[in-house]
A = this chain, B = another copy of it.
Amino acid sequence: MTPWYQDSQSDQSQILSSRVRLARNIKKYRFGQKLTPEDASLMVQEAQDAVSRAGARMFHQMDITALGETEQKVFIEKHIVSPEFLKGTLPQSLLISDDQNISVMLNEEDHIRIQSVQPGDMLAQALEKANQIDDLIEESVEFAFHPEFGYLTACPTNTGTGLRASFMIHLPCLERSDGLKKLLPTINRVGITLRGLYGEGTAPMGSIYQISNQTTLGKSEEEIIQGLQNVTNTVIEKEKSAMDKLMSAHRDDTENTIYRAYGTLAYSRKMTAKEAMDMLSLVRLGYMADLLDKPKPIKQIYQIMMEIQPGHLMRLAGREMNEAERDSARAKYLREIFS
């Protein structure tokens, strides 16, 4: 029952995780902003019952809006809910599996959003789990479905399969070279997008990116998955050859940079999230390139990356903290892991 980020498979290759999201809407309710508060309440209840029936043994229901700000931040940092979900004013609900790898947001942009995450390169498995939940829910409710277009959604970009598949990938060497910039137009041309860790418009941190399909219409789930997998494989190959190039041309400098990053993590008394992400990224590269002769930390690097985010730090401290306090707490947390 471990969340994906605690699984050692999340730290064994450039692919940290595989994620699938299915967008569904219930036929008899209006979509998105046209949903009235009364209908929202009914819809959430109905969907919740359907999900509970579908996976009664595995789901916990949560009223996330009733949680404190820190707990909400933790859920966003874990990518279990979207920031948009928390901004909603109508009735909502979150259902979440014991291992946190499957979650269902009720009344986010769509009535139902099923999310399934697996550690490492396991997109097919992630899709299979999402589909199981999807099928079970469909036993109780009728989804808005058009024989020609497929599943109907609040935003037309999701119409069709309602599927967004993504890999979380670590690209430290491509990012350092100008390889990433060169790749982007090609990737975008085939309907794939590359974004920072916290979604659209956010700057990448720790050289971690989300690569995902942009279009869902006119393609089968299998085609989408396969397309994303192909493009991702190409990106990973480019990352690996950028790594080889770095190792052959600047091995000593890279080794020096990586060990210094390790030392900074082991000794600092204050650290911003941005710097910590950069240092952790270098250390992850160190293990990946077999350059770092230090025992691996007890936690997966990505788990550490998540746990040094503001919400996680404040939850650990059991109190609200300002930025300076978090910078100290972050350094302390990292020291305990790395020294």
Interface set of A (CB-CB < 8 Å, partner B): 252-253, 255-256, 259-260, 262-264, 266-270, 324, 328, 331
Contacts and interface: CB of A to CB of B under 8 A. Distances in A.
B252 A259 contact: no
Contact of A260 (B256, B267, B328): B267
A151 to B, nearest CB: 52
B264 A328 contact: no
Nearest to A266: B263
B269 A252 contact: yes
B264 A260 contact: yes
A324 B251 CA distance: 13
Contact of A267 (B252, B262, B324, B331): B262
A246 to B, nearest CB: 15
A260 B264 CA distance: 6
A259 B253 CA distance: 22
Instruction: Please report whether the interface of chain A is mostly helix, strand, loop or mixed according to DSSP.
Output: helix
A255 B269 CA distance: 7
Task: Identify the interface centre among A262, A263, A264, A270: most chain B CB within 10 Å of its CB.
Answer: A263
A268 B259 contact: yes
A259 B255 contact: no
Contact of A253 (B256, B270, B331): B270
A273 to B, nearest CB: 16
A317 to B, nearest CB: 17
Contact of A263 (B253, B255, B268, B270): B268
A266 B269 contact: no
Nearest to A328: B252
Contact of A270 (B252, B269, B270, B328): B252
A255 B262 CA distance: 18
A266 B338 CA distance: 13
Nearest to A255: B269
Task: Identify the interface centre among A260, A270, A324: most chain B CB within 10 Å of its CB.
Answer: A260
A268 B254 CA distance: 11
A148 to B, nearest CB: 61
A270 B255 CA distance: 9
Contacts of A263: 260, 263-264, 266-268
Contacts of A266: 263, 266-267
Task: Identify the interface centre among A252, A255, A264, A269: most chain B CB within 10 Å of its CB.
Answer: A269
A266 B266 CA distance: 10
Q: Please list the 3 inter-chain residue pairs (A to B) with the smallest Cβ-Cβ separation, ordered nearest first.
A: A263-B267, A263-B263, A256-B269
Nearest to A261: B267
A255 B271 CA distance: 12
Contacts of A270: 252-253, 256
7 contacts: A252-B269, A253-B270, A256-B268, A259-B268, A260-B263, A263-B264, A264-B264
A256 B268 CA distance: 6
Nearest to A294: B267
Nearest to A263: B267
